[in-house]
């Protein structure tokens, strides 16, 4: 059965009893406070040993009184603290905040709570919460009662929490150790980067990440820097859990407590493998040839300088070998650059297999390689023998067939060598010597090794001097002369001339084109030279236009490949025709078969444009080059010129007779006329006529001659040779 509820009277009575008890308690409390207020001295322990600091400040902020807890917080005797400004104990960072709050307390708020960083007497700092209450006095200025609670621990915990959460959210790999370097925490990025899960590293030291790339000094210096500066930053190689090593940029920061004692180390790092890889790539590009990965010219020069110094110090000889592949250009042109590249790569591998570890194989570009041999015998003769042995080894290795994609190819090198043992010899000078020797090797018939010979250098020097003379000749122009050689028909009638260049050298006399055209081609001087020839020839045609005996003459002008490939060439020719007003059909440009090796399409299109304007074309030295019927058909040629080498021994050489016959038949088939050059005898002329040749040029009809001689009236009759 349920108990019946207590009667209402009973409840009312209990309530009254409670109220009376409460009033009594309040009264006791009041009494206690009054007693405390009244007699400070009597309750000194309660005031002085309270868990918080109490202090009273006057309106100027001077400490008027302070309890012992407060004095302990500031680390000084109470007697020494009174009458000192409270501001003196506020840390500089919070000084402004203190002044603002204090002023506001005096003027506006009567109660304020805030947090400040205060200074302990020994200058370490602590955080405190201040509860301030302004007490207005009936007389005089107000005072401020302050309760001080040390909240350093709470603050530190908060800071740690915030540091921890921000850092641990970062992408950077992080670890935190205690002051002894024992790992306390790691973040997920750390696990990702090192392969170690937190439980595998916590309690251990970061030593387990060491790769062995750095020595004890490195770590010692790191510890010293940490001690002095509080942090360390640098590149370091670490080891992944899987054993791989990787570079990283590590920052270690020391965490100290408010007493300046190291409590933790925080290490953060970023993986710099990619950056280092990019740096290496840049380095590779700067010092290595991208195709063969061999050192390039720059690195070679650097190694060469070291080799010179070593050689001078040790007395041991060194050698430079210049290697050029014979006919590389032809292979490149016929099989394409991809195959050319494969050849270069295989050549570099073979070269490296021919030398010792300390020697250098470099690629200068194109098909030019250099081998730098060091530490050879001290005697030049011995060193030369050693060099020759290695050179022959290279000749043999590079002459073996190459499998390039699906092609089996053959290539041979030409090697020039020079010895060195004197630091006074400049690198460039030695390179030049080896280069000269290499050209000599080429001249000697390729697949050859040649040592540098000072006499050869004299020739080269003369060559260089000739080039500068030629440059001068072109600008001065007075030294250049055109000679004209007659071309006659079956009846010996003069039908035209070939313009042949001569150089009237002030000291060396008349120089023939064979001695300076190759030089002009090599140096590019052929362009201004060729233009001069063309201009002079056109003006000569102009002057014959008014001459009844000569206005029918054609003018054959030799044009070099370089000139013909010049983008402005067609314009130059057409402009000259315009300027002079000559009949374009009288101008005959002589081209050679070798011209057809490159840019055939460009040449054909240039020829077609000029052909449309009436200009004629003759294929010079026909039969000596690589003629292909294919292009011969597509060229707008008017004439084939049988090379003089076939004419020379025509009467005795049956082969040449057959060749001449074929050329003539071919010309007829292709609807071209035919001219033979180098006709010196009547027998040659007759044989040519018998085979169907109709035009002739050669000493039999006249040598190349200056214009004055050509224009002399009595000469014309000479050509009537029937
Ligand atoms: P080319 O065009 O084949 O000229 C013919 C060469 O044969 C000329 O030599 C000429 O003097 C020579 N010759 C002519 N008839 C006879 C003969 O009956 N017997 C012998 N043994 N030789 C004869 P040259 O004048 O020394 O010219 C040599 C080459 O120089 C020319 O060969 C031509 O390729 C080049 N050349 C000459 N002038 C120029 C020019 O203005 N520009 C260019 N690019 N090359 C030129
Ligand atoms: Mg010619
Ligand atoms: Mg010729």
Question: CA nearest 304: which of 427, 435, 173?
Answer: 427
Residue 431 backbone class (left: φ over 0; alpha: ψ -120 to 50; beta: rest): alpha
Q: Once rounded to an integer, what is the mean pLDDT over residues 383-411?
A: 92
Residue positions counted in the chain: 722
pLDDT in tens, 223-255: 899 888 888 988 888 888 998 888 888 889 888
Out of 32-36, 216-220, 495-499, 631-635, least confident range: 32-36
- Centroid of ligand 2 to alpha carbon of 677 (angstroms): 9
CA distance 468 to 466: 5
**DSSP3 helix / strand / coil % (the chain, rounded to 5):** 50, 25, 25
Element (H, E) at 283: helix 273-287
DSSP 8-state code for residue 578:
H
Asked if the structure places residue 108 within a domain, the reply is yes
Question: CA nearest 350: which of 277, 266, 430, 294?
Answer: 294
Residue partners of 199: CB distance under 8 A and separation at least 6: none
- Which atom of ligand 1 lies at the shortest distance from residue 556's CA? 2
- Centroid of ligand 3 to alpha carbon of 643 (angstroms): 5
pLDDT in tens, 108-152: 888 999 999 999 876 788 899 999 999 988 888 899 999 999 998
Predicted local distance difference test score (pLDDT) of residue 722? 39
Q: Which of the given ranges, 262-276, 387-401, 430-444, has the highest pLDDT on average?
A: 387-401
Predicted local distance difference test score (pLDDT) of residue 445? 79
Check pLDDT > 80 for residue 626: no
- Centroid of ligand 1 to alpha carbon of 142 (angstroms): 122
Both tokens of residue 155? 């603050």
Radius of gyration from C-alpha coordinates of the chain: 51
Element (H, E) at 102: helix 95-107
Nearest CA to ligand 1 atom 12: 678
Domain-ending residue, one of 233, 251, 276:
276
CA distance 490 to 676: 12
Q: Are 489 and 495 in contact (CB under 8 A)?
A: yes
Q: Is 653 helix (H, G, I), strand (E, B) or coil?
A: coil
CA distance 461 to 467: 10
Same domain, 27 and 119: yes
Q: Is 429 helix (H, G, I), strand (E, B) or coil?
A: helix
CA distance 498 to 555: 6
Report the 10 Å Cβ neighbour count for 365.
Answer: 10
- The three-state DSSP-derived secondary structure of 202-219 is CCCCHHHHECCCCCHHHH
Check pLDDT > 90 for residue 415: yes
Question: What global pTM score does this model have?
Answer: 0.49
- Which atom of ligand 1 lies at the shortest distance from residue 501's CA? 38
Q: How far is CA 206 from the centre of its chain?
A: 38
Check pLDDT > 80 for residue 628: no
- Which atom of ligand 1 lies at the shortest distance from residue 533's CA? 41
CA distance 528 to 533: 9
pLDDT in tens, 285-341: 788 998 999 999 989 998 998 898 888 888 899 999 999 998 898 888 888 899 999
- Centroid of ligand 3 to alpha carbon of 709 (angstroms): 22
Report the 10 Å Cβ neighbour count for 30.
Answer: 10
Q: Are 273 and 252 in contact (CB under 8 A)?
A: no
- The three-state DSSP-derived secondary structure of 46-100 is HHHCCCCEEEEECCCCEEEEECHHHHHHHCCCHHHHCCCEHHHHECHHHHHHHHH
Question: CA nearest 347: which of 331, 11, 116, 174?
Answer: 331
Selected residue with higher pLDDT from 623 and 539? 539
Kindly report the backbone phi and psi dihedral angles of residue 292, in degrees, each rounded to the nearest multiple of 5, phi listed first: -105, -10
- Going by pLDDT thresholds of 50, 70 and 90, the confidence category of residue 24 is low
Asked if the structure places residue 190 within a domain, the reply is yes
Asked if the structure places residue 580 within a domain, the reply is yes
Furthest-apart CA atoms within the chain: distance in Å = 170
Predicted local distance difference test score (pLDDT) of residue 10? 61
Check pLDDT > 70 for residue 1: no
468, 472, 477, 483 alpha-carbon torsion, rounded to 10°: -20
Element (H, E) at 421: none
Same domain, 392 and 321: yes
Nearest CA to ligand 1 atom 5: 677
Q: Are 372 and 360 in contact (CB under 8 A)?
A: yes
Predicted local distance difference test score (pLDDT) of residue 720? 46
CA distance 582 to 574: 11
CA distance 544 to 538: 10
Q: Which of 558, 622, 648 to mutate to test the pocket of ligand 1 (most atoms within 8 A of CB)?
A: 558
CA distance 451 to 319: 10
Asked if the structure places residue 470 within a domain, the reply is no
Ligand located closest to 501 CA: 1
- Which atom of ligand 1 lies at the shortest distance from residue 704's CA? 11
Predicted local distance difference test score (pLDDT) of residue 65? 93
Same domain, 152 and 235: no
- Centroid of ligand 1 to alpha carbon of 331 (angstroms): 30
Predicted local distance difference test score (pLDDT) of residue 30? 47
Asked if the structure places residue 286 within a domain, the reply is no
Asked if the structure places residue 132 within a domain, the reply is yes
Q: Once rounded to an integer, what is the mean pLDDT over residues 100-109?
A: 89
Ligand located closest to 499 CA: 1
Domain-ending residue, one of 276, 311, 328:
276
pLDDT in tens, 279-300: 777 777 788 998 999 999 989 9
Both tokens of residue 48? 């002085």
Both tokens of residue 260? 């300046």
- Centroid of ligand 1 to alpha carbon of 704 (angstroms): 9
Check pLDDT > 90 for residue 457: no
Predicted local distance difference test score (pLDDT) of residue 125? 85
Asked if the structure places residue 575 within a domain, the reply is yes
- The three-state DSSP-derived secondary structure of 266-281 is EEEEEECHHHHHHHHH
Predicted local distance difference test score (pLDDT) of residue 259? 67
Kindly report the backbone phi and psi dihedral angles of residue 282, in degrees, each rounded to the nearest multiple of 5, phi listed first: -60, -45
Out of 153-167, 212-226, 643-657, least confident range: 153-167
Q: Are 335 and 409 in contact (CB under 8 A)?
A: yes
CA distance 130 to 269: 41
Check pLDDT > 80 for residue 35: no
Residue partners of 258: CB distance under 8 A and separation at least 6: 124, 125, 126, 152, 156
Predicted local distance difference test score (pLDDT) of residue 108? 87
Predicted local distance difference test score (pLDDT) of residue 18? 57
Q: Is 318 helix (H, G, I), strand (E, B) or coil?
A: strand
- Which atom of ligand 1 lies at the shortest distance from residue 512's CA? 26
Same domain, 323 and 180: no
Same domain, 180 and 148: no
Nearest CA to ligand 1 atom 3: 621
Same domain, 547 and 661: yes
- Centroid of ligand 1 to alpha carbon of 591 (angstroms): 12
Predicted local distance difference test score (pLDDT) of residue 2? 44
Query: Any idea what the CATH number is for the domain that residue 385 is in?
Result: 3.30.70.270
Nearest CA to ligand 1 atom 43: 558
Check pLDDT > 70 for residue 15: no
Asked if the structure places residue 499 within a domain, the reply is yes
- Which atom of ligand 1 lies at the shortest distance from residue 700's CA? 18
Query: What is the domain count for the chain?
Result: 4
- Which atom of ligand 1 lies at the shortest distance from residue 563's CA? 44
Question: CA nearest 210: which of 183, 174, 249, 246?
Answer: 246
- Centroid of ligand 2 to alpha carbon of 643 (angstroms): 9
- Centroid of ligand 2 to alpha carbon of 620 (angstroms): 5
Rounded (10°) angle between helices 380-399 and 337-354: 140
- Which atom of ligand 1 lies at the shortest distance from residue 482's CA? 41
Ligand located closest to 531 CA: 1
CA distance 719 to 722: 9
- Helix spans in 448-584 (H): 454-476, 517-523, 526-545, 561-564, 569-580
Query: Any idea what the CATH number is for the domain that residue 219 is in?
Result: 3.30.450.20
Query: Any idea what the CATH number is for the domain that residue 552 is in?
Result: 3.20.20.450
- Which atom of ligand 1 lies at the shortest distance from residue 485's CA? 14
Q: Once rounded to an integer, what is the mean pLDDT over residues 565-584?
A: 95
- Which atom of ligand 1 lies at the shortest distance from residue 520's CA? 44
Cite the beta strand spans of 559-714 per DSSP E: 587-592, 616-622, 639-642, 673-676, 695-696, 705-706
Q: Which of 470, 477, 500, 594 to mutate to test the pocket of ligand 1 (most atoms within 8 A of CB)?
A: 500
Nearest CA to ligand 1 atom 41: 501
Range of the domain at 194: 170-276
**How far apart are the two ends of the chain, measured CA to CA in Å?**
165
Predicted local distance difference test score (pLDDT) of residue 423? 64
Check pLDDT > 70 for residue 153: yes
Cite the beta strand spans of 70-182 per DSSP E: 111-119, 125-135, 143-150, 173-178
Out of 152-156, 159-163, 615-619, least confident range: 159-163
Name residues contacting ligand 1 (CB within 6 A).
Answer: 485, 500-501, 512-514, 517, 530, 533, 558-560, 590, 620-621, 644, 677-680, 697-699, 704
Domain-ending residue, one of 402, 436, 452:
452
Same domain, 503 and 647: yes
Check pLDDT > 90 for residue 276: no
Check pLDDT > 90 for residue 707: yes
Share of the chain above pLDDT 90, in %: 46
Q: Is 174 helix (H, G, I), strand (E, B) or coil?
A: strand
Same domain, 485 and 619: yes
Listed residues: CB within 5 A of ion ligand 3: 620-621, 677
- Centroid of ligand 3 to alpha carbon of 610 (angstroms): 22
Angle among Cα 313, 318, 320 to the nearest 5 degrees reads 140
Same domain, 258 and 235: yes
- Centroid of ligand 1 to alpha carbon of 292 (angstroms): 43
CA distance 372 to 305: 11
Question: CA nearest 254: which of 179, 201, 187?
Answer: 179
| Beta bridge partners of residue 128, listed in sequence order | 116, 150
Predicted local distance difference test score (pLDDT) of residue 575? 97
The mean pLDDT of the chain is 86
Nearest CA to ligand 1 atom 25: 500
Check pLDDT > 70 for residue 411: yes
Same domain, 362 and 485: no
- Going by pLDDT thresholds of 50, 70 and 90, the confidence category of residue 717 is very low
Selected residue with higher pLDDT from 714 and 490? 490
Q: Once rounded to an integer, what is the mean pLDDT over residues 412-416?
A: 94
CA distance 382 to 359: 18
Q: Once rounded to an integer, what is the mean pLDDT over residues 194-203?
A: 91
Same domain, 207 and 307: no
pLDDT in tens, 490-539: 999 999 999 999 999 998 899 999 999 988 988 889 999 999 999 999 99
Same domain, 510 and 649: yes
Element (H, E) at 504: strand 494-505
Question: CA nearest 695: which of 649, 656, 640, 655?
Answer: 640
- Centroid of ligand 3 to alpha carbon of 494 (angstroms): 18
Question: CA nearest 488: which of 496, 480, 478, 499?
Answer: 496
- Centroid of ligand 3 to alpha carbon of 503 (angstroms): 19
């Amino acid at each position: 059965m349920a108990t019946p509820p207590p009667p209402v009277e009973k409840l009312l009575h209990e309530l009254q009893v409670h109220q009376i008890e409460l009033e009594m308690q309040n009264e006791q409390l009041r009494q206690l406070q009054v007693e405390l207020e009244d007699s400070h001295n009597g309750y000194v322990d309660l005031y002085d040993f309270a868990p918080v600091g109490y202090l009273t400040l006057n309106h100027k902020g001077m400490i008027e009184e302070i309890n012992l807890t407060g004095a302990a917080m500031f680390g000084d005797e109470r007697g020494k603290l009174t009458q000192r400004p409270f501001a003196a104990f506020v840390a500089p960072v919070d000084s402004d905040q203190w002044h603002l709050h204090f002023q506001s307390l005096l003027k506006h708020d009567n109660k304020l709570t805030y947090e400040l960083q205060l200074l302990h007497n020994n200058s370490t700092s602590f955080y405190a919460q201040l509860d301030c209450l302004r007490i207005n006095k009936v007389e005089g200025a107000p005072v401020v009662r302050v309760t001080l609670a040390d909240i350093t621990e709470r603050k530190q915990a908060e800071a740690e929490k915030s540091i921890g959460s921000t850092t641990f959210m970062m992408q950077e790999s992080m670890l935190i150790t205690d002051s002894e370097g024992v790992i306390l925490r790691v973040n997920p990025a750390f696990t990702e980067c090192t392969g170690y899960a937190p439980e595998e590293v916590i309690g251990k030291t970061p030593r387990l990440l060491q790769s062995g790339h750095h020595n004890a000094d490195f770590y010692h210096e790191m510890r010293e820097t940490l001690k002095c500066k509080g942090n360390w930053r640098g590149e370091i190689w670490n080891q992944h859990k899987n054993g791989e090593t990787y570079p990283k940029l590590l920052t270690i920061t020391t965490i100290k407590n408010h007493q300046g004692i190291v409590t933790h180390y925080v290490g953060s790092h970023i993986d710099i493998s990619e950056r280092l890889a990019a740096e290496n790539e840049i380095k590779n590009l700067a010092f290595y040839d991208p195709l063969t990965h061999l050192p390039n010219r720059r690195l070679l020069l650097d190694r060469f300088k070291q080799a010179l110094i070593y050689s001078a110090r040790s007395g041991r000889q060194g050698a430079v070998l210049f290697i050029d592949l014979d006919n590389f250009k032809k292979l490149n042109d016929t099989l394409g650059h991809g195959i050319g590249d494969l050849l270069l790569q295989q050549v570099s591998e073979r070269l490296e297999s021919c030398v010792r570890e300390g020697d250098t194989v470099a690629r200068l570009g194109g098909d030019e390689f250099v081998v730098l041999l060091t530490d050879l015998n001290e005697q030049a003769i011995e060193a030369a023998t050693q060099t020759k042995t290695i050179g022959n080894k290279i000749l043999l290795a590079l002459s073996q067939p190459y499998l390039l994609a699906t092609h089996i190819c053959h290539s041979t090198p030409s090697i020039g060598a020079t010895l060195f043992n004197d630091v006074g010899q400049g690198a460039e000078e030695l390179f030049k010597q080896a280069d000269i020797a290499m050209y000599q090797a080429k001249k000697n018939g390729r697949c050859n090794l040649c040592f540098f010979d000072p006499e050869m250098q004299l020739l080269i020097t003369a060559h260089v001097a000739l080039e500068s003379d030629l440059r001068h000749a072109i600008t001065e122009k007075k030294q250049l002369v055109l000679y004209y050689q007659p071309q006659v028909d079956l009846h010996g009638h003069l039908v035209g001339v070939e313009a042949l260049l001569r150089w009237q050298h002030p000291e060396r006399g008349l120089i023939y084109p064979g001695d300076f055209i190759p030089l002009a081609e090599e140096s590019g001087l052929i362009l201004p030279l060729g233009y001069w020839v063309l201009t002079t020839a056109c003006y000569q045609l102009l002057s014959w236009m008014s001459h009844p005996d000569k206005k029918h003459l054609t003018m054959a002008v030799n044009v070099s490949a370089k000139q013909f490939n010049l983008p402005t060439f067609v314009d130059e020719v057409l402009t000259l025709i315009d300027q002079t007003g000559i009949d374009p059909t009288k101008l005959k440009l002589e081209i050679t078969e070798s011209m057809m090796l490159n840019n055939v399409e460009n040449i054909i299109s240039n020829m077609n444009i000029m052909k449309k304007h009436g200009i004629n074309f003759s294929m010079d030295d026909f039969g000596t080059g690589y003629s292909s019927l294919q292009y011969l058909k597509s060229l707008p040629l008017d004439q084939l010129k049988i090379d003089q080498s076939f004419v020379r021994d025509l009467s005795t050489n049956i082969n040449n007779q057959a060749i001449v016959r074929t050329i003539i038949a071919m010309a007829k088939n292709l609807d071209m006329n035919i001219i033979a050059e180098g006709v010196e005898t009547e027998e040659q002329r007759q044989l040519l006529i018998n085979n169907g040749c109709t035009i002739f040029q050669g000493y039999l009809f006249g040598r190349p001659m200056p214009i004055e001689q050509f224009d002399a009236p009595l000469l014309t009759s000479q050509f009537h040779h029937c």
